[in-house]
Structure 1
């Protein structure tokens, strides 16, 4: 399959199952697959500059947003050293080996072919045989790519690259994981679930309710933001009637 490369198309929404205490109005914990856990772990590798750019300077907790803005306003010609890469501060590179690190945009970008030097530009158009003309600008499509079926959607299957045969991400896909409200992640088991219920002092099991939620672009940004300022991330993001609260 030939295609053009360089852009990021929207990833499918992920899903996980919440256990909600309806009396307390909080999420006790969630049942999640590999795709969700890989996404949560990838937040730890997110550069601060990228986080500010994704969340927006004014919605970024703390002073990182103001620091980001100061770099934007600085007169590069007058104050930066020759050759200094300001883009590395405002748009820091994200390792391509980190899965789901770059949150998908709400819409895909317009496909473009490779330029005259052969360097790949923004992408989306594909063809079964190479050398065909791009439907957008008629330039040749020469970059060979491999199609890999995603393991997203909470199926628990690992995403595997057809090119390398190696699983992507951080955790095994044959395991279901428990994610607590403060984003503590552990392998799920019946015993651990009972222990958590005892920890939360749940006495009325009839007040417990399962809720399946989807994690797309909007929810991913909300989780990123809440993880920087809250100990009740899942409750803040997925229970709309609860106003987000900051950690003490």
Structure 2
């Protein structure tokens, strides 16, 4: 079973209160890459409808409140609201694995065990027309232990650099120096190295921040808000108003 915590080493610009980049191992990069495989319905449910940006939360709620009467006989609301993730996802350090969408596939046959298989117990057997509601075990492909087979997406021998905006690239001394120049870091003493743990709470925050922000790591680990300045014209006079708050 994957660990419920993943360690991450951050390089922080204390003057700018910003994460320049993170030094990350295989577990964290696998977690980031696996976010791309999560179905939209799963993402909305994990983040809750009220915290979603835009109208997808409303769309999700529309399906929730829709009567089954209006659905096709071979469709269910769970197929939309609780879609299954890829089976391979069970091998990854998801940090979100407590969610029931990570459960493996289920297959069914008719009571007469004709040579037909369905993934929905309401399907009708083409041979006897009975419901195919007899559950049969799903056997995943057994993995042969190998030093070369680590599971996940990326190799564990490479240390990766994850930028504040989640750009991922193999880490090297040259690329680190180039980034310091890019960010115009002139005082090395202003840099702080900090090791943080990413658990389920941080994983959910990171998922949410990735949909809303270009400074994801700073938002999650430094509490930075996505902020800006809005000029309002009240009574003909411009009024400068602060706006922001990623988690508000």
**TM-score normalised according to structure 2 size:** 0.70
Shift in Å, 1:163: 4.3
Unpaired runs of 5+ residues, structure 2, are 100-137, 228-243
1:93 aligns with 2:80: no
Structure-2 residue corresponding to 1:84: 75
Instruction: Name the structure where strand makes up a greater proportion of residues.
Output: 2
Conserved in 2, the CA contact under 8 Å of 1:46 and 1:101?
Answer: no
Unpaired runs of 5+ residues, structure 1, are 1-8, 107-142, 146-160
The match for 1:173 among 156, 176, 181 is 156
RCO higher in 1 or 2 (8 Å CA, sep ≥ 6)? 1
Structure-2 residue corresponding to 1:199: 182
Runs of 4+ in 1 over 6 A off after TM superposition: none
RMSD (CA atoms): 2.6
Q: Which has the larger radius of gyration?
A: 2
Shift in Å, 1:88: 1.3
Alignment of 1:128-139 (within 5 A): none
Structure-2 separation of matches of 1:198 and 1:81: 59
Structure-2 residue corresponding to 1:132: none
1:232 aligns with 2:215: yes
SS of residue paired to 2:44: helix
After superposition, the Cα gap between the structure-2 partners of 1:30 and 1:181, relative to the gap in structure 1 and judged at 3 Å, is same
User: How many residues get paired?
Assistant: 188
Structure-1 separation of matches of 2:2 and 2:61: 28
SS of residue paired to 1:62: coil
SS of residue paired to 2:162: strand
Structure-2 separation of matches of 1:170 and 1:223: 19
Point out the more displaced range, 82-91 or 200-209. 82-91
Conserved in 1, the CA contact under 8 Å of 2:159 and 2:171?
Answer: yes
Point out the more displaced range, 79-88 or 211-220. 79-88
